[in-house]
Structure 1
Amino acid sequence: MKKILAINGSYREGGVTDQILDHFEYAANTFDMQIETAVLRNLHIEFCTNCRRCTQEAGRKPGTCIHEDEMNTLIQKIENADFYVFASPTNMYSSTALFRRFLERLVVYGYWPWSKNAPEFRKEGDARKKAILVSSCAAPGFMGRYFSDTLKSLKSAAKLVGADSVGTLFVGLVGKERSPRLSDKNIREIKSLAMKLI
């Protein structure tokens, strides 16, 4: 059975991002795929200190971080997954600080010895995996997609772990209610996106 790993960078339990990933889970089960969601707000993940120790080790596998926290387990889950869903709401024109912290810790996927001017991506040249990118925002969806940095953060995460985006979902106008719900159209879009991972 193929495995999907979803990364949830939302602060709000039961918010739009949680709802989207709940529907992804339902769709994945319908297509006989296994999905696990890593909810970043529930994980102990330290900030990257930019010491670059993890980038000194050559090889295709991720480097070893100095921090002994739950990111190490999450890296193993990333390695074992066949597909990904990267999800973060848009806050102040970018992804959440939760997602940014996760993204910075993906530096383990770079090989950057002190003698080099720039890093090499460890997954460069490997067979590419598929990823779906998900966000929500108070603005209309097309504006959030093109006028915020959220999509750039989500794409960066996918690239670092060796994946290419095969679809995106940007749910807009979610700031008009205290507890917004997904529309039927959103749910159909989620099912359609899940099919792209098959």
Structure 2
Amino acid sequence: MRRLLAVNGSYRSGGVMDQAIDVAVQAATLAGVQVDVVNLRDYPIEFCRNCRECTQQPGDTPGTCVQNDSMQALVDKIEAADGYILASPTNFYTVTAVFKRFMERLIVYAYWPWGTPAPKFRKSHATQKAILIASCAAPGLLSRLFFTTLKQLKLTAKTIGARPVGSVVIGRTAQQEHPTLSEDARKRIQRLIEQLM
């Protein structure tokens, strides 16, 4: 593996998710892998218009969106990567709105011509690997049982042609105004990076 793409759905600069991404980047860099970090809060991505223009042409390469914003640059980064770190805090039981907006715009990875009942994945065979990182105010186990954050991250991986090889949920992140990542969470993230290699 030569190049990883980390997609961070956190709104909070320097928060727990940023700290988790930093740990993942350090571990991957030590293994000789280049990591490109995308903080979605810094990328102006418009809402999907549901015009489906991007889904009309067949093939395994992503379609082209009619909107002129930062999404095409993100799709280019996805296509250039050998593996992925997909990360989002939990807001109202699921991924953040900025991550959801990113997910919706991944419709470019679907082939769905008019007259067909459902879309097909352009990347139907998972050729890449991904790790998933979620955080939440509740204990991590409760997040796995009752929240959909990990499910949405898994769907994102599947959509872009990746197979999740591991996940971590960082729980109890709302105990302090400025929480720091625990040593246990750091070690779990480092182990995830090893699984990704």
Give 1:44 shift: 1.1
Tell me how far apart the structure 2 counterparts of residues 185 and 60 of structure 1 sit (CA, whole Å): 40
What is the deviation of 1:4? 0.4
Match of 1:57 in 2: 57
State the distance in 2 between where 1:183 and 1:142 align: 16
* Structure 2: distance between partners of 1:134 and 1:103: 16
- Count of matched residue positions in the alignment of Structure 1 and Structure 2: 197
Counterpart of 1:78 in structure 2 is 78
- What's the offset of the Cα at 1:186? 0.9
Structure 1 position 182 matched with structure 2 position 192: no
1:57, distance to aligned residue in structure 2 (A): 1.0
Report 1:47-126 matches (<5 A): 47-125=47-125
Q: Give me the whole-angstrom Cα distance separating, in 2, the residues matched to 1:195 and 1:86.
A: 15
| TM-score (normalised: structure 1) | 0.98
Q: Which amino acid aligns with 1:134?
A: I
Tell me if 1:160 matches 2:159. Answer: yes
- Whole-Å Cα distance in 1 between the matches of residues 67 and 33 of structure 2? 32
TM-score by length of 2: 0.98
The CA RMSD over aligned residues, in Å, is: 0.9
- Where do 1:28-47 residues align within 5 Å? 28-47=28-47
Question: Match of 1:134?
Answer: 133
Q: Output the amino acid matched with 1:115.
A: G
Q: Secondary structure at the match of 2:156?
A: helix
CA distance in 2 between counterparts of 1:119 and 1:92 reads 28
Letter in 2 for 1:40: L
Cα-to-partner distance string for 1:29-83 (whole Å, 9 max, x where unaligned): 1101000111100011111011100000111100010111111011011001000
Helix, strand or coil at the partner of 1:103:
helix
- Equivalents in 2 of 1:171, 1:190: separation in Å? 10
Following the alignment from structure 1 to structure 2, what is the Cα–Cα distance between the partners of residues 114 and 36?
36
Structure 2: segments with no counterpart, 5+ residues? none
**One-letter amino acid of the counterpart of residue 148, structure 2:** D
| Residue identity opposite 1:49 in structure 2 | R
The CA distance in 2 between the partners of 1:14 and 1:132, in whole Å, is 21
1:150 matched to 2:149? The reply is yes
**AA aligned opposite 1:51:** C
In 2, Cα distance between equivalents of 1:182 and 1:122 = 37
The gaps in structure 1 that reach 5 residues or longer are none
CA apart distance, 1:101: 0.1
Return structure 1 stretches of 4+ with deviation > 6 angstroms.
none
Separation in 2, partners of 1:187, 1:172: 13
- Residue equivalent to 2:21: 21
1:129-148 deviations in whole A, cap 9, x for unaligned? 10000110010001112210
Q: Secondary structure at the match of 1:175?
A: coil
